Chains A and B, each alone.
Chain A
Amino acid sequence: MKKLINAPENVVKEALAGMAIAHADLIDVHFDPDYIVRKGAPHNKVGVISGGGSGHEPMHGGFVGYGMLDAACPGAVFTSPVPDQMLAATKAVNGGKGVLHIVKNYTGDVMNFEMAAELAAAEGIEVASVVTNDDVAVENSTWTAGRRGVGVTVLLEKIVGAAAEAGADLATCKAIAERVNAHGRSMGMALTPCTVPQAGKPGFELAEDEMEVGIGIHGEPGRRREKLAPARDIAEMLAGPILDDLPFQSGDAVLAFVNGMGGTPLIELYLMYNELARILKDRNITIARSLVGNYITSLEMAGVSFTLLRLDDEMIKLWDAPVHTPALRWGM
């Protein structure tokens, strides 16, 4: 294991400390329980919080700020945070208009957020939850823990964050969040595994000519292993199941999100975006908005995920609204 760390068990806290100094104008970092909170919280609006294991940076902490999240709860690397963190964050951002929990569909995340929501409700805070589950790689989802929440989570946090900033009430925020989740689909692949600092070894091994297709975001193996293929074939492999699942149709306007898993350079992400754009053009699907970069990652894993979100006018307006966070900023 070759990493820029001092001690595996201190990675999360030391990174949070760095974030706090680097973005002191936007966020405060609270320790024990750990959460990142927007400056000046609570604000006079619905509080929007999310959380999940660390190792996916910039998600979620990098999305705390104006027009997006009010707080984020970072767990240990690839491990759900605990209810104490979500409860403390919920209290910190509750401006009296309720708090929305954005939860990715993983067994641990769902259970811990459920417990936190029960505790917050017991303290008289109105909490609503939305669970993202956009990963089409998980088949037979009726018989499993369900599809994983992946790329759509980033888009949802931006869109719902804008709605809350504009004064939408809790029920409206929840409804918009559910609409975004319902209209978004994702799939990812890995060229290399990644190493959890405290594990010290990669989560799986891949030969020089192999790739994992249908990965999640926790360094876990994917649905299947295949021989490495040209980018154009990989793009088809990822876009096909996404397009067929919703299904996306001729005439749709979409947000096309090409996300790096952490270890893939932008030059390859743009190359993949070019492939995705070609596929969408062939199907007469318009790219109305786009996002390319490393936003929901798996440590140093090389690989890419595609997310497509079918847009409506309200979603476009909310996507374009000003945002100012450590990792996303436009319009201000």
Chain B
Amino acid sequence: MQITADHVTSFLQLVAERVKEQREYLTRLDAAIGDADHGVNLDRGFSTVMSKLPTATDRSISGLLKLTGMTLISTVGGASGPLYGTAFLRAGTAIGDRATIGAEELIAALSAALEGIQTRGKATRGEKTMIDAIAPAIDALKEQYAASGDLLAAMRAAVTACEQGMIATEPMLATKGRASYLGERSIGHRDPGAASAFLMAQAMLATLERAVQG
């Protein structure tokens, strides 16, 4: 299948809706080990993205992703603004001027997004951050797609890996981000960034499923 700019728009709308729905949940996770603003901040960011989409001049895939990245950087603040913002910008840059993209390009864009998050946040796996949900998801996506050539099946595997990665942050000791200030007390809490990353992975799968169903 080919992914179009309309699919990207649907994905962004779905993320914005789910972030709004799960605002309290994300904020509650953040209150336990951070500063109780993750849901509120992401909601502000994606709501602004929604308000800008109708008047976007560059409606290509990369144009929409870059607009999203710049808007998140300009409106979210905290650590998640620069991190998710950089992720969307890098994905947009990786896609370039292609009007539609296939599975390989999607995987390359998601890999570039992860690399951006790692560079900006100077974090690696196992530090109780969003990377612990995103990195295993991209691994699973690559492996399953290489094995089956079925993007939808691979994305399902990625979402499962993402969820497992998110749950795996619970027993971790945070060594990056605000949760690291809590030391041992960060153990036993789910990382809010991993939770919002899982939410985006779910939205990506739902968008693909709808696209395949036509």
A residues contacting B by CB (< 8 A) are: 33, 53, 75-84, 106-108, 111-112, 115, 137-140, 143-145, 148, 196, 198-199, 201, 203-204, 216, 218-221, 223-224
CB distance from B131 to the nearest CB of A (A): 13
With a cutoff of 8 Å between Cβ atoms, the chain A residues found around residue B82 in the complex are 83, 108, 111-112, 115
B180 and A80 form a contact (CB under 8 A) = no
Q: What number of residue pairs across chains A and B have CB atoms under 8 A from each other? A: 115
A80 and B176 form a contact (CB under 8 A) = no
Residue of A nearest to B182 (CB): A221
Cα of A138 to Cα of B178 in the assembled complex, Å: 11
Could you list some 6 contacts between A and B, CB below 8 A? Answer: A82-B73, A108-B78, A144-B175, A145-B180, A199-B27, A223-B182
With a cutoff of 8 Å between Cβ atoms, the chain A residues found around residue B36 in the complex are 78, 196, 199, 203, 219
Cα of A145 to Cα of B183 in the assembled complex, Å: 11
CB distance from A38 to the nearest CB of B (A): 23
Cα of A76 to Cα of B73 in the assembled complex, Å: 14
Stretch at the interface among B37-45, B96-104, B144-152: B37-45
Cα of A81 to Cα of B80 in the assembled complex, Å: 12
B77 and A145 form a contact (CB under 8 A) = no
CB distance from A226 to the nearest CB of B (A): 13
A144 and B180 form a contact (CB under 8 A) = yes
B31 interface residue, CB < 8 Å from A?
Answer: yes
With a cutoff of 8 Å between Cβ atoms, the chain A residues found around residue B125 in the complex are none
B83 interface residue, CB < 8 Å from A?
Answer: yes
| Main SS at interface, chain A | loop
CB distance from B46 to the nearest CB of A (A): 15
A82 and B181 form a contact (CB under 8 A) = no
A78 and B81 form a contact (CB under 8 A) = no
Residue of B nearest to A111 (CB): B82
B77 and A81 form a contact (CB under 8 A) = yes
B181 and A148 form a contact (CB under 8 A) = yes
CB distance from A82 to the nearest CB of B (A): 5
B183 and A80 form a contact (CB under 8 A) = no
B residues contacting A by CB (< 8 A) are: 27, 31, 33-37, 40-41, 44, 73-83, 120-121, 174-178, 180-183, 185
With a cutoff of 8 Å between Cβ atoms, the chain B residues found around residue A111 in the complex are 79, 82-83, 120-121
With a cutoff of 8 Å between Cβ atoms, the chain B residues found around residue A80 in the complex are 77-79, 81
CB distance from B57 to the nearest CB of A (A): 19
B178 and A218 form a contact (CB under 8 A) = yes
Which of B34, B76, B78 has the most CB atoms of chain A within a 10 A radius of its CB?
B78
CB distance from B126 to the nearest CB of A (A): 12
B175 and A82 form a contact (CB under 8 A) = no
With a cutoff of 8 Å between Cβ atoms, the chain A residues found around residue B37 in the complex are 76-79, 196, 198-199
The 5 A-B residue pairs with the shortest CB-CB distance, nearest first, are: A144-B180, A108-B79, A108-B78, A218-B35, A111-B82
B31 and A199 form a contact (CB under 8 A) = yes
Cα of A145 to Cα of B122 in the assembled complex, Å: 10
Residue of A nearest to B37 (CB): A79
CB distance from B101 to the nearest CB of A (A): 27
With a cutoff of 8 Å between Cβ atoms, the chain B residues found around residue A145 in the complex are 175-178, 180-181
CB distance from A40 to the nearest CB of B (A): 28
B181 and A138 form a contact (CB under 8 A) = yes
B77 and A220 form a contact (CB under 8 A) = no
Residue of A nearest to B31 (CB): A203
B40 and A198 form a contact (CB under 8 A) = yes
Among B40, B73, B76, B177, the residue within 8 A (CB) of A107 is: B177
Cα of A220 to Cα of B183 in the assembled complex, Å: 13
With a cutoff of 8 Å between Cβ atoms, the chain A residues found around residue B74 in the complex are 33, 82-84
With a cutoff of 8 Å between Cβ atoms, the chain B residues found around residue A138 in the complex are 180-181
Cα of A107 to Cα of B34 in the assembled complex, Å: 11
Cα of A218 to Cα of B34 in the assembled complex, Å: 8
**Supplied contacts A76-B41, A144-B183, A220-B34, 5 more A-B pairs, CB within 8 Å:** A33-B74, A143-B180, A198-B40, A220-B178, A220-B182
Residue of A nearest to B38 (CB): A79
With a cutoff of 8 Å between Cβ atoms, the chain A residues found around residue B185 in the complex are 221, 223-224
With a cutoff of 8 Å between Cβ atoms, the chain A residues found around residue B27 in the complex are 199
- If A75-B77, A76-B44 touch, does A107 touch B176 (CB 8 Å cutoff)? yes
CB distance from B25 to the nearest CB of A (A): 12
